Structure 1
């Protein structure tokens, strides 16, 4: 089954020439991760049929590393004990190529078998006491050190053997970055020689100079490793690439210049919702990765089984509606689809049809995505890194994220490490859910953004600390907020309320109400002259006994501060945990405050507006002559619990777009339904009706312009 390289190494078995930009045609992926006992049991022909049924145009197939699924000649490259004289990897490569598919070989470098561990102890990861680290999930196999000769020499040799023998476009490495700090002698010596420090004894302590040095050192070492692997593959097969898995945080652990040179696309290894994640999480994963490199394709890996942070059910099947929704929400937000199956056997085929339906939908809409890009006027700064998770930053982000989804406000994410004036200039509003740690330079960037006309909506501890967590005496963005710190964070506070104290667009939707639920973590601020304070905190009062539950004083401290900025933009600052509390308690008033704040900060009507009932995730795809609104239907009986048992057909939606200058009207087409839509034009806007949809609908508006001939 092996295919030798001919000429310059770019000729495939089917006769098609492989070119460096092959990845642009690899937009629907099948991944098959084989198990040791698959050879001789599973049917490769059945998998070729699955690739055909799902309209896959690319495949990622297990080849080697921890276990070889081809007849390797490399010492200590462990062959499957069931391999005998078969070559399942080669057979699958040949079958995929017969369908004109692109092929990527998967290797897993994270562990070795006992014979390799005994022969090469220098390959092993070690704990702080110097003991080799046994695998946590399986006895008598050993974790490898990512910084030593195992990765740099052994896996490099494996990659060369694969691309020499087989007609593949790339090698994909999973679990290659290590598991925590490896205290191998190689790592200890290299770190000490290059930084002057001993390896840190614990992870994540940003006050420890050794940890800060480790983050930089690790980034450099892993980046050098990727460069080595990629060049080794390209030396054999010039069009091919070595593409390590970077996980859902995309490229943040590696050197940016290296990524530009060696990564033609990125992958998101967030394969499904975990626990009670909301169904829009798939689209958020796409936004996160695109925020790092907006000019590179990104793929969302989807498991056909359930994913859970505490449990592993790799041989199971998730509900079809959940799998299809995850795939569709991902590609609606710009992440091409990729599904993965563990084990070549298919004891439960219920996943095949939902995956095929979602992939078929992507195939149908793919020409509409081509040439367009996702646009939005609003950007949400994503809480970055493990520190954000530790301090609850993710909950603040999720609350704001869900409020914007519910409000049908199109928005993008901005990556913390990509916070530049150029990046922000494409947006009208920057949202800071709880950007606690901002450097002086990042605060200056946001200040410059507002001076150029940008608006900011911020909450809670935003800009209170520097990038290392050192508290400031005042907000780093006090000038933007129009508010100064007078009391640090206080809480948890029970029974807190905010009173409506000024008529303002932020109070819309609360007609008749005098007070709303406030926060549980409060910050005391002084509003500067010239600001608005539409909400103020009621001073604390008891929550028990019930007879004592009444306010003793009038509203006083600002609970929301608004400001018209000199550059023409606006700011809204909310000095309590608005996002996290909305995510925890899901009180509708908190979501309304977020939506009102963002809409007021926009300073005008939204370019794309969708009205109707139900839960809809919205993305706007645009080119010079058209706008397409992608409406993903997330309406289901358990929308905020996580699992999707069924998708309730989308209720009627009205999609309205602002006409560009020079346009006198528009035509509209429902791209999923495949029908034209009636358009009404009024007040400089075009509106079309979506009567219903199942997974999604995409409404494409094309402009009618005045004939000037």
Structure 2
């Protein structure tokens, strides 16, 4: 540890290049607390970087608190800094290990002296009052549309990249106040750009314009910061931290130009969130920017919606699972430890194990790309404008596809185009209620060209601004017409009709549970209706709970199109009710729909007991099937105490050659496949948290 400030002029800068975003694949982050200069142990952190095979690090530098001897007025130094430089010490140590380095800054709040000297920097409520921090007294929230962000933080970034050997500035909470700030600068900018006043609340007049304006202005801000650091160090970049929703708050054109890498700040499972949530973060980001590197931050402590136990430690198996499911789905590892003291070391071994596991499989996976035949539409644009538990619909479909072991990707409605849809055989719309006319036209063209759709509930009943349509925007493609708007029901059932692939697997049943919200629809004459709603009947008194009338209205509508595509539509909240009640019949119905819409044997199948998250990584002469074992005693409650070893799994993969070489990358053994009818089949006797089946026909 430095005992005095390192003279800035003596720092050496080795050769640095623009490829660091793709080459930095395992990140170790140290988020310092104000008192850390008193006691932090640099040797511990450098040893951990070495043992975990980390090749990149992110270290707290400045913004809210500076951990180096800043020369900028109102850039608050840690009151414990004295003549030390913990940031510089860690930068030098990481560079000695050949690591890439980011400097973390946080501009979301300022101390009282800065607030008093520059009241124009502060976020303000509708009445113009400055906003004090919600969690700490006498510090103040900043507004991203003021000179604090555009000028002061720009100078902080310049100082850091000028004085230290870093590859990037990493900005946490870079958007400032998360709500609508009514600072004079924000009011003036919005008025100049739109001719409107800032909306008084979400969904109020001007809200739609505000969403677009905020996206543009924040993206412009990142461009200012990025150019500032590149003017000093050409290979360096400014990287803003993104939440679990990845890039949906950014102007696409600017993001494509400015973002060499995406950092997703979804640090762990929260509440009863399912363990596949980590992999979903990777998919969601690729759904917007499919070719951009993604890193997923994992906290060593527990995550919860309401509480922040940052000094505690999450169960080791849960930490490992979050990291492994993330990198199996393309979001590579990044761990963060809040404050540099280590009163509880139980997190260290799980981090080392997970990072070492990634280092083991990286040589194969790094040259492959994740592919799938099925895509789940991510209605990100609608998410800006409506918030009525839309996530429940997605969660239910996601869970059903994971249970069915269907490899699938996300595709964002922001990039919906014929080219973007072309790689997929099936597109699933769990409840994409808000779709523009243009988006509906793209999806209809996709069906006309042989693609398949699986859609549910209010998909396409609203336009992109949330205005209700008289009928489905995708009605023609799905073969349906609206006859009755959504209504709530308590005791709904759907009856199995004529034999069809969608009612397979329900042996012994004549009806299954339907939805809790249903729509009335008519089906085209050419459609097949394998399920129909049983007309409503009472749920009490018990003596009155019986069916009165025969099944009538369509509950599942299936069509086969002349060009080969198939569509399935469910006029009820199938995804949401599956997520709420987890009735197996609903999961089977979703799996049957996707399987029938695909219309062929999937390119990859995995059979066996257990809960697996499957990803397919493909190259020109090889394919790697990643099996993340989510089987644990509390799988649907969320917390992970232990991972139960998998029983035997049969993996079948379509291959273009009669001779293939198969290796289990984690077990580190070659296995003999059975190759017949264009498929290679292997049996994995068991697996722990991860196994990857690598099939190579280029070197067989």
Q: Superposed, which structure 2 residues align to 1:64-213 within 5 Å?
A: 64-178=62-176, 179-205=178-204, 208=205, 210-213=206-209
Is 1:548 equivalent to 2:544 in the alignment?
A: yes
Alignment of 1:329-408 (within 5 A): 329-384=325-380, 386=383, 390-408=387-405
- Residues in 1 aligned to 2:47 and 2:391: alpha-carbon distance in whole angstroms: 41
Aligned to 1:664: 658
Contact 2:244 2:266 in 1 (8 A): yes
Alpha carbons of structure 1 residues 190 and 387: separation in structure 2 relative to 1, 3 Å: closer
Query: What SS is found at the alignment partner of 2:624?
Result: strand
TM-score by length of 2: 0.97
Would the aligned equivalents of 1:5 and 1:167 in 2 still touch at CA under 8 Å? no
Residues 150 and 388 of structure 1, relative CA distance in 2, 3 Å threshold: closer
The superposition leaves residues 136-190 of structure 1 with CA deviations (integer Å, 9 ceiling, x where unpaired) of: 0000000111111101111111111111110000001111112211111111112
Deviation digits for residues 489-536 of structure 1 (CA, Å, limit 9, x no counterpart): 111x11211111111011110122111111111111111111100000
C-alpha distance after superposition, 1:347-375 (max 9, x if no partner): 00100100110000100111111221001
Shift of 1:115: 0.6
CA drift of 1:16 comes to: 3.7
Could you tell me whether the CA contact under 8 Å between 1:665 and 1:705 is conserved in 2?
no
CA spacing shift, 1:78–1:285, aligned 2, 3 Å = same
8 Å contact from structure 1 (residues 5, 164) kept in 2: no
What is the CA deviation profile of residues 287-309 of structure 1, one whole-angstrom value per residue up to 9, with x for unaligned ones? 00111111110000000011111
SS at 1:24 equivalent: helix
Are the counterparts in 2 of residues 611 and 654 from structure 1 also a CA contact under 8 Å? yes
Give deviations 1:582-615, integer Å, cap 9, x for gaps: 0000000100010000000001000000000000
Determine whether 1:489 maps to 2:511.
Answer: no
> 1:206-225 counterparts in 2 under 5 A?
208=205, 210-225=206-221
Aligned-partner Cα distance in 2 for 1:303–1:252 = 23
More deviation, 249-258/590-599: 249-258
Decide which of 226, 230, 236 is 2:222's aligned counterpart. 226
Matches within 5 A, 1:472-621: 472-491=469-488, 493-621=489-617
The question of 1:678 aligning with 2:669 is answered no
Give the conservation status (yes or no) of the 8 Å contact 2:621–2:696: yes
Q: Which moved more, 1:362-371 or 1:57-66?
A: 362-371
Q: Where in structure 1 are there 5+ consecutive unaligned residues?
A: 7-11
Task: Give the whole-Å Cα distance in 2 for the aligned partners of 1:537 and 1:705.
Answer: 55
The equivalent of 2:54 in structure 1 is 56
Question: What is the Cα deviation at residue 387 of structure 1?
Answer: 5.6
**Structure 1 residue corresponding to 2:318, chosen from 322, 327, 340:** 322
Residue 440 of structure 1 corresponds to which residue in structure 2? 437
TM-score by length of 1: 0.96
Q: In 2, are the aligned partners of 1:664 and 1:704 still within 8 Å (CA)?
A: no
Task: Say which is worse superposed, 89-98 or 677-686, in terms of deviation.
Answer: 677-686
What is the match of residue 651 of structure 2?
A: 655
Task: Select the residue among 465, 469, 476 that pairs with 1:468.
Answer: 465
Aligned mates of 2:384, 2:58 — CA distance in 1: 33
Q: Cα–Cα, structure 1 residues 299 and 204, in superposed 2: closer, same or farther, change >3 Å?
A: farther
Query: Are the aligned partners of 2:203 and 2:385 in contact in 1 as well (CA < 8 Å)?
Result: no
- Secondary structure at the residue paired with 2:267? coil
Maintained 8 Å contact 1:204/1:387: no
TM superposition shift of 1:24: 1.7
Match of 2:417? 420
CA distance in 1, matches of 2:94, 2:130: 40
Contact 1:380 1:412 in 2 (8 A): yes
- Larger CA deviation: 48-57 vs 336-345: 48-57
Matched residues in 1 for 2:574 and 2:216: separation? Answer: 38
For the 8 Å contact 2:243–2:265, the answer to whether it is kept is: yes
CA contact (8 A) 1:538 1:551 kept: yes
SS of the residue corresponding to residue 257 of structure 2 reads helix
- Partners in 2 of 1:687 and 1:46 — Cα distance? 46
**Residue 5 to residue 327, structure 1, CA distance change in 2 (3 Å):** farther
The 2-side partners of 1:290 and 1:675 are apart by 31
Q: Number of matched residues?
A: 694
Residue 275 of structure 1 corresponds to 271
Q: Which moved more, 1:383-392 or 1:643-652?
A: 383-392
Please name the residue that 1:9 is paired with.
Answer: none
**Pairwise CA RMSD:** 1.5
Write the distance in 1 (CA, Å) between the matches of 2:544 and 2:142. Answer: 63
The change in CA–CA distance for 1:601 and 1:388 in structure 2 (over 3 A counts) is farther
Closer, same or farther in 2 for the Cα pair 1:41/1:563, shift >3 Å?
A: same
Partner residue of 1:41 out of 35, 39, 42: 39
